[in-house]
Amino acid sequence: MKFFVDTADIEAIAELNETGMVDGVTTNPSLILKSGRDILEVTKEICALVKGPVSAEVVATEAEEMIKEGRKLAEIAENIAVKVPLTWAGLKTCKTLTDEGTMVNVTLCFSANQALLAAKAGATFISPFVGRMDDINLDGMELISDIRTIYDNYAFETEILVASVRSVNHVTESALIGADICTAPPKVLKKLADHPLTDKGLAAFLADWAKTGQQIL
Ligand code: E4P
C-alpha cells in the first residue's frame, strides 16, 4: 500500500520523505490555509521535493472555471494531480482533464455510488473520507470495502485513496481491505512505527550493552 502525506507543511513532508515512506502528498484548501503559504508556491516546492503525485484542489464550483483552475494547477509540475469535488461539475472536469493526460483526484467521496461515478469519469484517484464518516456514526471502512469490491468487479483502474485518516487502525484496516493508498497526517504516519514492546525491548538491550563496556564505533 502506498502512503501519501496529508499536509502542505514542507518541513513535515521533507522529514518523512527521508524515510522513503512518502509516495505522494495530498493538500486541500484547509491545509493550504494552515500552511500560511501561497498555493502555487508551496505546491511547486512540494512537487520538487516528492516524486509521486501531489494533489492540489480547485475551488471553483462551475465546470468551466474548474477546468481553467485545474489546467493552471497542472502547469505547476508533471506530478500534479488536480483534486476536484465529487459533484457533476467535478466529474465533468475530471473527464476533461483526464482526457488531456492530467491525473485527477476526485475528493469528498462518501458513498459507493459516488465512487462508481468517479471511476466512470476516468479518475486517477478516488478519495473516500473515512474519518468524517466515522464522525457521524457511519462506517468509513465499510465504504472502502464496498468500493474495493465494485472496482474489482469491473476492473476499474481508479486507485482507492483512503482520506480523512485519523488513526493507525484506519491504516491497518485499509491495508487489509486492499485499498491502494492511505493519505494521513504526519502525526498518524509517525505513529505507525510505535509499539510499547519495541521501546521496552530496546531499553533492555541498551542497558545490557552498557554493561559490556563495548563500542561499535
Ligand atoms: C485529503 O485528501 C483530504 O482532504 C483529507 O484527508 C481530509 O481530512 P480531514 O477530514 O481530517 O480534514
Residue nearest to atom 7 of ligand 1 (CA): 164
Atom of ligand 1 nearest to the CA of 26: 2
* Mutate-to-test residue for ligand 1 from 3, 132, 164, 189, highest number of ligand atoms within 8 A of CB: 164
What pLDDT does 98 receive? Answer: 98
Q: Residue whose CA is closest, atom 10 of ligand 1?
A: 164
CATH class of the 2-212 domain in this structure: alpha beta
* Nearest atom, ligand 1, residue 163 CA: 6
* Known catalytic membership, residue 72: no
- Number of helices (H) and strands (E), helices first, in the chain? 11, 8
Ligand 1 atom closest to residue 55's alpha carbon, by position in its atom list: 2
DSSP state at residue 7: -
75: Cβ contacts below 8 Å, ≥ 6 apart: none
Burial degree of 205 (CB within 10 A; 0-12, 13-18, 19+): exposed
114 within ligand 1 shell (Cβ under 6 A)? no
The DSSP 8-state label assigned to residue 163 in this structure reads B
> Which residues of the chain, if any, have pLDDT below 70?
none
Q: Which residue, 95, 122, 105, 116, is CA-closest to 162?
A: 105
What does the pLDDT read at residue 100? 98
Query: pLDDT at position 57, please?
Result: 98
C-alpha cell read off for 120: 466512470
Q: Whose CA is nearest to atom 1 of ligand 1?
A: 163
- Count CB atoms within 10 A of the CB of residue 18: 8
Return the pLDDT at 21: 96
C-alpha cell at 55: 494533489
Tens-place pLDDT, residues 120-166: 999 999 999 999 999 999 999 999 999 999 999 999 999 999 999 99
Among residues 83, 95, 120, 191, which one is catalytic? 83
Domain ranges of the chain: 2-212
